[in-house]
Amino acid sequence: MGRPVTSGAGNHPNQLLLILQITRALREGQISSTELCQRCLSLIRETKIFNAYITVTEQLAVKQAAEADKRLKRGKPLGPLDGIPVAVKDNFSTANIETTCASKILKGYIPPFNATVVQKLLDQGAVLMGKTNLDEFAMGSGNTDSIFGPVRNPWGYSRQFREKHLQSHDKEDSDWVISGGSSGGSAAAVASLTCFAALGSDTGGSTRNPAAHCGIVGFKCSYGLISRHGLIPLVNSMDVPGILTRCVDDASTVLGVLAGHDPKDSTTRQEPFEPFELPDEIDIRNLSIGIPKEYHAPGLSSEIVENWTKAADLFENAGARVLEVSLPHTPYSIVCYHVLCTAEVASNMARFDGLEYGHRSKAESSTETLYAATRHEGFNSVVRGRILAGNYFLLKQNYERYFVKAQQVRRLIANDFVKVFGSGVDVLLTPTTLSDALSYLDFIKEDNRTRCTQEDIVTQSANIAGLPAVTVPTALSQRGLPLSLQFIGRALHDKQLLTVAKWFEQQPPTLVGNNELSQPHLQ
Amino acid sequence: GERSCTDMISQMAFFSVTKFYDYRLDICYLSSVYCSNCIYRHHFTVKNCFSSSKSSWVGVVGLEVHAQICSNSKLFSGSLVQFSAPPNSLVSFLDASLPGTLPVLNKRCVEGAVMTGLALNCTINKRSLFDRKHYFYADLPAGYQITQQRCPVAVNGMLTYNLCTGKNRNQTTLKSVRIKQIQLEQDSGKSLHDDARFQTLIDLNRAGVGLIEIVMEPDMTCGEEAAAAVRELQLILQQLGTCRGNMAEGQLRVDANISVHQPGEPYGVRAEVKNINSARFLARAIDYEIQRQIEVLENGEIILNETRAFDYKSGRTIPMRDKEGKQDYRFMPEPNLPPLIIYDNKTLPSNVNHQQVVNIDQIREQMPELPSVKRTRLVEKYNILTEHSITLMSEDGLMEFFETVAENTLANPRKVISWIINEFLGFLKQNNLTVRQSPFKPLALSELLDLLEKGVVSSSAAKQVFTEMCKKEGKSASQIVKEKELGLLQDQAKLEQICQSIIENHPKEVSEIHKGNWKVLNKLIGQVQKATHRRAAPNLVKAILEKKLS
């Protein structure tokens, strides 16, 4: 068990720094935002092979950093993120900056407005480094399906990994490790230190999965805490803007900036959100940690199981009550998610017709031909497949059999959590992924749908039930890649969840696999 | 550089097409329930060429009315609602369906729907839901319309209307039609097809404007009933201020579902007639369609479940282009809008901001007097005929005009109503004016009627004064009477002098009277009136002449 970022010797001067520390350094004048920004920009250039960014907003970043420096000099920073480099997944609308969803259909689309979360970051003085890569329209779990090419996991280029693998893979680029997805770009951007925090989106695990594979913290808050306005939707009723950071405290800081009611998003919670700081002294003795037995999913690697068990022991030894619990409807979450997701996808994607914005086919012989050709050319086969399936489920003759059934199952899954939490459990401890990150060649042996089915199994229930969940890195695997665990909390008990996650993060490293979990020591 | 949404839209407006399908007003089917409270039915009797038996067919008519809600901004966005604004000038990011935009419900539109529901005696659903209805059409940028299919804002209402009957349409029958549901939904944009250049131009100003869809049960039997129901609905909406109700401008759009059957038999296959832009055409379209269906059935053919358009030039309904099989709208709950919760005084939580919630009881209190209540009140207060009260309500502002005149004159209200309907309304209709465009104020008419009542002018002179008042010179009735010397001549000496000269100049008539033919006296009276430009007090003239000739 280790602090993901703070332990170990670094190659980069800013690698040890967390947002709270860098904020202090900025305010005390030990470093300027411009210097910070330049370091991040040069890191972006050095780590280009990861393909984490679709658009690097260099000029804008430099300008924002200079403005932040002026404010910092005057002693009047805008907030905790003033002058801090951040990155944003390319499915959040950014005014005057191309927003593609990694899809041909939105290539060249420049939104005229900022997503609420982007606006909030900018209002706090955050410095936007760029827009990060993703699976097309966030549909995927490997970040291997982007028109801009896949994202490579920084850990695949670490000393820890390379030392073990260069014997078997002599040629540098014959194979590499996936970042996880769909927010692979955001995860790789944070893991490679090109920014201090990144926005992802999380519909079935899209923030937590790549965060786990890239060895960083990935947080999906309770549904309704953070506005979705400007987030190009995958499944409206499950999408939550995700936060990827180097540590749990940073996730809490970013949550404080982003959360709150948004008049532009009717599904955000009405009551005001009070930003919180996590305590440093954490007492977990009265906590009850649930271990859901159904999360012993098929394909769970022995390393993950070992980690999971050790983590449970850690809590028990520290005085928490650890007990096995049951979420009996978990096995149905995949099929339920599949129906609800594809149905909403079919609906949400209907607007991409080439008339108002984005790609438009040359085939203009009739309106219908134009629509068909535009959409065929614009979407990849994964998106098209989900649109087809979703429309099938929504047909009048199928609606009751599929969509309504799936909604009922969704209720059952959510009720499972209600029952467990109602029985006195505070937080659930589960795996985030089945194993460490696969190599690209291994990953693509199965198609996108199969992979999502396998990978999302441990993460998607939290979306189905709207619960907060966070992944925290624990150790390196035998292969030298990050292993992580997930905590799932009660709805709107985000602070309690993050507090538990922080306690876990604070624990000294345990010997699981490779104990040297820090930054990927890039070669 | 900066690109505004409007820029983007103006750039997108052109693309080529060859076929157009108008799906946008398609509605779900009405349930076919036989109406037991329908008293009056038109019976169409048509001779079957192939048999000697006579069949008696009954028309079955249901309506779906789309009323544009009179609100400042659209149903789910902040764009203004305005008519005849430059194309694509009232388009928000949501209206253009930019990805990532979310709908935010307009409270004013909900209040409009609730008030309409109350006026139509509906049950207001305390919790209603929004759905997405999917179809591809160029002026529907999201690829779906947000509507209320499963659980609408109001259900189970009743619209009561007066049907003019009798030979001269001077009798009225009170009728009613059940309201199945009232739902909130988005309007579409407008497509302008340039067939010559194979282009379609899209104007999204109307896209997202709030609509109230009122679904009526098939309780009507003919065009006249449907037209009367729509006219009454129009009045109610206008009175409530929830819709301007101008059919020609598309603020009120009516689709009719029409079938025929023989009493006791199940309903026949329905055809839907669209694109009807006036109540008069609605009546004609329905009656044509009923006749057409009867003829089709009498010929042993079958009625197609199809959409037809009314061609007002030929007065016929014609099939609209085939929809390539049945459209499946793939309804789905709208995930971005929580259930619409409506409160009443009992359920209103104490901790909510009353400005932010819709309260049924509060809306009920704010409701203006409904047309039917007004009519009853008019009949009772002024002792006028029901038919007159209907006429008063049928023109915007006419009832108020009448009431002001009646309240400010000595003349009997029945006399006032006669002037209002025959003279005033006649003048307006002839000159194609609205009540608000009247050349004179109601008090000016009160004054004129006072002059008539007091005997200052004769009724024929009063009509002359009225004609002068219509010239819009701003002169009062008494001013006109004075200037044009239209006042009643009551000067005994002067009248005697005039009568004397008439007697002297008409020896033939005088001798007739002396022979005992007193009928001829009227001719002499006429001559006196002619000489006095019809200003002479008729009773005085008569008395003088009688005295002089007896």
pLDDT at B218: 97
Q: Which of A237, A356, A366 sits opposite B335 (nearest CB)?
A: A237
| Residue A173: per-residue pLDDT | 61
8 Å CB contact of A367 and B8: no
Q: Is residue A397 part of a domain?
A: no
Contact status of A76 with chain B (Cβ, < 8 Å): no
pLDDT value at position B83? 84
Alpha-carbon torsion, ordered A207, A210, A214, A216, to 10 deg: 20
Q: Could you tell me the pLDDT band of residue B180, with boundaries at 50, 70 and 90?
A: very high
Q: Is A351–B4 a contact, with Cβ atoms under 8 angstroms apart?
A: no
Annotated catalytic residue A206: yes
* A106 within a domain of the structure (yes/no): yes
Q: At what angle do helices A33-46 and A19-27 cross, to 10 degrees?
A: 140
* Optimal mutation site among A90, A240, A357, interface B, most CBs of chain B within 10 A: A357
The SS3 call for residue B399 is helix
Using a CB–CB cutoff of 8 Å, tell me whether A368 touches chain B.
yes
SS3 A516: coil
The CATH number assigned to the domain holding A484 equals 3.90.1300.10
Residues of chain B found within 8 Å of residue A350, distances taken between Cβ atoms:
134, 136, 142-144
A103, A206, A252, A435: which is the annotated catalytic residue? A206
Q: Is the pLDDT of residue B35 over 70?
A: no
Using CB atoms, pick whichever of B3, B12, B337 lies closest to residue A356: B12
Largest Cα–Cα distance in chain A?
71
**Low-confidence winner among A32-46, A226-240, B114-128, B487-501 (lowest mean pLDDT):** B487-501
- Which candidate in B102, B132, B147, B192 is best for mutational testing of the A interface (most A CBs within 10 A)? B102
Given a cut of 60, whether residue B37 has pLDDT beyond it is: no
Nearest CA in chain B to A407: B333
The CA radius of gyration of chain B, in Å to the nearest whole number, is 31
Is-catalytic flag, A227? no
Q: What SS3 string covers A278-294?
A: CCCCCCCCCCEEEEEHH
Domain membership of residue A118 (yes or no) is yes
Minimal-distance CA residue of chain A relative to B332: A394
Quickly count helices (H) and strands (E) in chain B. 17, 18
> pLDDT tens digits, chain A, 523 residues: what are they?
333 333 333 333 334 468 888 999 999 999 999 999 999 999 999 999 999 999 999 999 999 999 999 999 999 999 999 999 999 999 999 999 999 999 999 989 999 999 999 999 999 999 999 999 999 999 999 999 999 999 999 999 888 788 777 655 555 566 799 999 999 999 999 999 999 999 999 999 999 999 999 999 999 999 999 999 999 999 999 999 999 999 999 999 999 999 999 999 999 999 999 999 999 999 999 999 999 999 998 889 999 999 999 999 999 999 999 999 999 999 999 999 999 999 999 999 999 999 889 999 999 888 889 999 999 999 999 999 999 999 999 999 999 999 999 999 999 999 999 999 999 999 999 999 999 999 999 999 988 888 878 888 899 999 999 999 999 999 999 999 999 999 999 999 999 999 999 999 998 765 333 334 455 555 4
Inform me whether the pLDDT recorded for B1 exceeds 60.
no
The residue from A33, A89, A227, A461 that is catalytic is A89
Number of domains in chain A: 1
Select which of A103, A146, A182, A227 is catalytic: A182
CB–CB contact B102 A229 (8 Å) = yes
Tell me the CA distances in angstroms from A257 to A17, A66, A77, A121, A444, one per residue in order: 19, 21, 14, 7, 38
- pLDDT value for B55: 66
Closest CB to A366 among B4, B17, B143:
B17
Q: Residue B104: which of A111, A266, A395 has the nearest Cβ? A: A266
Q: Which amino acid is at B234?
A: Q
The distance of A233 to chain B (nearest Cα, Å) reads 6
CATH class for domain B492-549?
A: mainly alpha
**Residues constituting chain A:** 523
Report whether pLDDT(B42) > 50. no
Distance CA B100, CA B119 (A): 38
Q: Tokens 């199965």 identify what position?
A: A446
Residue A33: inside a domain, yes or no? yes
pLDDT band for B378, please (50, 70, 90 cuts): very high
Cβ-nearest to B132 among A265, A347, A364:
A347
A365 found inside a domain: no
Domain residues for the domain of A233 are: 20-154+169-264+285-330+410-506
Question: What are the tokens at A74?
Answer: 């005057």
Average pLDDT, chain B: 86
Cα separations in angstroms, A218 against A88, A177, A279, B134? 14, 19, 19, 36
Which single residue is written with the structure tokens 């030298």?
A480
Confidence (pLDDT) at B199? 82
Rounded Cα distance between B199 and B233, Å, is 38
Residues of B in contact with A398 (CB under 8 A): none
- For A306, counting Cβ atoms within 10 Å of its Cβ (0-12 exposed, 13-18 middle, 19+ buried), the class is middle
Strand pairing class (A321-325; A288-292): parallel
Q: Tell me how far apart the alpha carbons of residues A523 and A104 are, in angstroms, rounded to a whole number.
A: 34
Question: In this predicted structure, what is the pLDDT of residue B456?
Answer: 85
Mean pLDDT of B371-381: 92
A161 within some domain? no
Tell me whether residue A220 is one of the annotated catalytic residues.
no
Residue ranges matching CATH 1.10.10.410 in chain B: 492-549
Would you call B99 and A368 a contact, using CB atoms and an 8 Å cutoff?
no
Cβ-contact A216, A4 below 8 angstroms: yes
Q: Going by DSSP bridges, is the β-strand pair B316-319/B54-68 parallel, antiparallel, or unpaired?
A: unpaired
- Asked if residue A78 is part of any domain, the answer here is yes
Find the length of chain B: 550
Give A165 to chain B, closest Cα distance, Å: 43
**B142/A350 CB distance under 8 A:** yes
Indicate whether A344 belongs to any domain.
no
pLDDT of residue A379: 97
Q: How many CA atoms lie within 13 A of A504 on its CB side?
A: 33
Going by C-alpha positions, the residue among A184, A185, A190, A273 that lies closest to residue A226 is A273
Are the CB atoms for B340 and B105 separated by under 8 Å? yes
Report the 10 Å Cβ neighbour count for B373.
Answer: 11
Give the DSSP letter string of A186-210.
Answer: HHHHHHTTS-SEEEEEESSSTTHHH
* CA proximity to B119, closest of B362, B343, B370: B370
Mean pLDDT on B182-205: 91
pLDDT of residue B519: 87
Give me the half-sphere count of Cα atoms (radius 13 Å) on the Cβ side of residue B372: 17
Look up the pTM and report it.
Answer: 0.86
Whether B461 shows a pLDDT value over 90: the answer reads no
Give the pLDDT band of residue B18 (cuts 50, 70, 90): very low
Residues 6+ apart with CB under 8 A from B339: B127, B128, B129
- pLDDT on residue B455: 82
Q: Which residues contact B200 (CB under 8 A, 6 or more apart)?
A: A367, B14, B15, B16, B17, B20, B138, B191, B192, B193, B194
pLDDT of residue B36 exceeding 70: no
State the count of interchain CB pairs (< 8 A) between A and B: 136
Q: Hey, are the CB atoms on B102 and A228 less than 8 Å from each other?
A: yes
Torsion of CA A305, A306, A311, A312, to 10 degrees: 70
**Euclidean distance between the first and the last CA atom of chain A, given in angstroms as a whole number:** 24
Q: Residue type at B4?
A: S
Strands (E), B290-359: 307-311, 316-319, 332-333, 340-341
Pairing of strands A321-325, A240-245: unpaired
Average pLDDT over residues B273-283: 90
- Residue B65 predicted with pLDDT over 90: yes
